[in-house]
Structure 1
């Protein structure tokens, strides 16, 4: 994440860079690598294909580099060095994470003219949408502290669910900052089957994320627990590598495998 360029643009401009909440480079690289494996298999097996396998080259930093949006092009063409912007964007407002009266956090994205007008209705401030000071996206972005401050004051006077209800009923993009307890209790995720319970031989019944994404007409599969250490030794050494069982047994006895 650091070498790929993500760390330098994550966090607030007046503070050191902040590590993302998860090791996103691991997951992104796995996703890119899986796509490459499918492409390699297609190249091998298609009509007129090579009939040979291929090597997938997917270093961790490479996946991060590929999701940096305009960072490289902006530097190349305009000399811009992208910096940290916190939860806001310099070219859009209102857009921020706001604290509600019950201490929760909601993310509201209403930078476009249409969404700004809807948010003004949600806040019972429809006149704001016609105020010449905030008539355009650029004008609102230039006065971002004021615009975001008004939204912050409104959100802080209501609970998270009240803010969510007002935004949803007016078509304003909003998301509550969910923690694990919120995810497990969410009826939408439950109805969609986003979480499944897997019987792990060590940990027991374990709630975890279901496979993603889904395919139309294909029943969702339930993941298997992670294999135990050495569980597939016989299949790999004897089945794939041609080792005889006597040698494998000796390796086990000597603690080699």
Structure 2
């Protein structure tokens, strides 16, 4: 697998993206762009690089297994952004770029002489995607922020977990990923507006706290009109039934979601209890919610009497919404994920055959792809990218010796 030609596939081919920043939220915006064919040039500090290069508890021959997910399809250049010469190199890259992605602490770009106003003076078309913990304005703007804090302060973590227990964190950096998706959405809207109006870019201000807050569904309006503060509800949802996890005979768990009247009627038939659909305790959405504990116990008694294979066969035969709770081993082995291309085996010179997540969503005419799993060396594309700016080999050697690249 070799480094791709820039913008060789996908709906974003021809889009030039400069990615500055590190770890998850900002770089994942760049990964979304790269997956769909944008030419993403990742700017890393010389000798250090993105810390994600060294993250993760598992290694393959000393190499992190997180880096190929975040770096795939990207090119890497090095630039010391604390050195005016490094700043100048990046400004030159930005003169004909479409997008800048950064997730530094607010004010950092301004300190380096690369405020939005200064960058738009050299490239009015530039869309500047700024990812941060709390946004570029407001009382908390100057604070550093990570996903765990954004999830907590937004109200998202408060409703996670079980009543009367400390609210647990998610097993992934959910706030970072959500913010990246919202930032990518904002970037695409800004590009659409730019290319159909006056040709000018704008700033996309994406905060982790607000991205998590945006996922809270009716929590705000419920509180506004009734004073209700939604509480953690464990494995189900308060007053929504049946929608929970239930045990099989083997002790594995399955999700059954049959809280819509017609779906519950189908579940009742699958259980050989069609009478339940007309039982006054369960005959409508509201009364099922009031009697959720009793109903869940009845369903659990039924599910634990059946092996998982028989249980799922019955649910499928009656067109009930269900799904087993899969480990990653089960996801990777699942033929549906394989056929959809969401789990792919890639040949890579550094990792050999490695299984990676596919590209989503699926586009019928211009699908995304995985051309390569990213550069192992910091600044691997220095000669190629900076050579396009007119720098010669001796220029690059001098800058490298000075610690600029």
Question: Is 1:23 matched with 2:154?
Answer: no
Distance 1:79 1:223, change over 3 A: farther
Mapped partners of 1:170, 1:176: distance in 2: 16
1:101 aligned to which of 220, 244, 249: 249
CA contact (8 A) 1:98 1:152 kept: yes
**2:21 aligns to what?**
none
For 2:154 and 2:243, how far apart are their aligned partners in 1?
26
Kindly tell me: are residues 6 and 55 of structure 1, through their superposed partners in 2, closer, same or farther at Cα, counting changes over 3 Å?
same
**Contact (CA 8 Å) 1:199, 1:225: kept in 2 or not?**
no
Q: Does the 8 Å contact 1:196/1:222 carry over to 2? A: no
How many angstroms apart in 2 are the aligned matches of 1:223 and 1:67? 33
Q: Supply the distance in 2 between the matched residues of 1:72 and 1:130 (Cα, whole angstroms).
A: 34
Maintained 8 Å contact 2:243/2:255: yes
Would you say 1:183 and 2:331 are equivalent positions? Answer: yes
Unpaired stretches in structure 1, ≥5 consecutive residues: none
In the TM superposition, what is the alpha-carbon distance from 1:245 to its structure 2 partner? Answer: 4.0
Which residue of 2 is the match for residue 161 of structure 1? Answer: 309
Matched, 1:63 2:211: yes
Map of 2:152 onto structure 1: 2
1:148 aligns with 2:148: no
Query: Aligned Cα RMSD in Å?
Result: 2.0
The residue number in structure 1 matching 2:320 is: 172
1:13, 1:78 → 2: CA distance?
A: 21
Once residues 388 and 275 of structure 2 are traced to their aligned partners in structure 1, the CA distance between those partners, rounded to angstroms, is 74
Residues 341 and 359, structure 2, Cα contact 8 Å, conserved in 1: no
Partner residue, 2:190: 40
Distance 1:254 1:33, change over 3 A: same
Superposed counterparts of 1:97-246, under 5 Å: 97-219=245-367, 221-228=369-376, 229-239=378-388, 245-246=393-394
Instruction: Measure how far apart 1:220 and its partner are.
Output: 5.1
Once the two structures are superposed, what CA deviation does each residue of 1:60-83 show, in whole Å capped at 9, x if it has no partner? 222111111111222222222111
TM-score with structure 1 setting the length: 0.90
What displacement does 1:244 show? 5.2
**Counterpart contact for 2:362–2:368, Cα < 8 Å:** yes
Secondary structure in 2 aligned to 1:85? coil
Deviation string 1:156-196 (CA, Å, 9 cap, x unpaired) is 11122221111111111101111112112212222222212
SS of 1:106's partner is strand
For normalisation by structure 2, the TM-score amounts to 0.59
Is the alpha carbon distance of 1:42 and 1:130 closer, same or farther for their aligned partners in structure 2, counting shifts above 3 Å? closer
* d(CA) in 2 for partners of 1:220, 1:57: 26
Q: Residues of 1 paired with 2:183 and 2:368: CA distance?
A: 22
Higher relative contact order, structure no. (Cα contacts within 8 Å, ≥ 6 residues apart): 2
Q: Distance in 1 between matches of 2:336 and 2:379?
A: 39
Q: In the comparison of the two structures, how many residue pairs are matched?
A: 254
The unaligned stretches of length 5 or more in structure 2 are 1-150
